[in-house]
Amino acid sequence: MLTLFYTPETCALATHIALEEAGADYTLRRIDFERQEQRSPGYLEVNPKGRVPALATPRGVLTETPALLGFVAQSFPAAQLAPVDDPFAFARLQDFNNYLCSTVHVAHAHRMRGHRWVDDEAAIEAMRRRVPQSVHDAFRVIEEGMLAGPWVMGEAYTVADPYLFTLARWLERDGVDPARLPRIAEHRRRMAERPAAQRALAAEA
């Protein structure tokens, strides 16, 4: 049995959708950020980083979305959520997911979590003002050079797709007009129609 520790409106949604796509047997455990549950002793035993997502497996706990998505894809090969038998193609998938994790998500986090990097309020405000441009620029790289087809990797749906969908759902809140990113906006629309995404979103509502 797998347990996904999540908070609504976070990147945990990507793994949640992947678990649904895979037909996995899993349970959900909501972490309440408003009550600072992510910093509670009980949760810090699960994930010392104090963040979501975390995925409890029979072999231990995994964290970081690219790792979780890779685990789901490799654990449920029949679902064909990644090219697990092609090292180069799988590395390209990991390349994309790590870009989302290390660049796109970090640009987004500057809007509300500037305290992770600096203490000076003026600097935090400067980071916040920069978010619409920095997030747009990060997504523009995907729009123009990384989105291979109707899905991230081309014709085949993979675990990269729910990850892109999850971060693209935040565009408006980050001050980015999706109309300036038509291919990503179309991908977001197509993802929203998938039953697995609808089930995950309903469960987190």
Residue 142: domain span: 87-194
Query: H/E/C letters for each residue in 125-168?
Result: HHHHHHHHHHHHHHHHHHHHHHCCCCECCECCCCCHHHHHHHHH
pLDDT of residue 177 exceeding 80: yes
pLDDT band at residue 110 under the 50/70/90 scheme: confident
Q: What is the CATH number of the domain that holds 188?
A: 1.20.1050.10
pLDDT of residue 182 exceeding 90: yes
If asked whether residues 190 and 94 sit together in one domain, one would say yes
User: Span 18-28, mean pLDDT?
Assistant: 98
pLDDT at position 74 = 98
If asked whether residues 70 and 109 sit together in one domain, one would say no
pLDDT band at residue 63 under the 50/70/90 scheme: very high
Q: Both ends of the chain: CA-CA distance in Å?
A: 23
3-class SS at 25?
Answer: coil
Q: What's the distance, CA 91 to chain centroid?
A: 18
pLDDT at position 134 = 97
pLDDT digits (tens, 9 = 90+) for 81-107: 999 999 999 999 999 999 999 999 999
Question: Which residues lie across from 154 on neighbouring strands?
Answer: 151
If asked whether residues 70 and 100 sit together in one domain, one would say no
If asked whether residues 48 and 23 sit together in one domain, one would say yes
Q: What is the CATH number of the domain that holds 10?
A: 3.40.30.10
If asked whether residues 35 and 116 sit together in one domain, one would say no
- pTM for this model (two decimals): 0.96
If asked whether residues 92 and 189 sit together in one domain, one would say yes
pLDDT digits (tens, 9 = 90+) for 139-174: 999 999 999 999 999 999 999 999 999 999 999 999
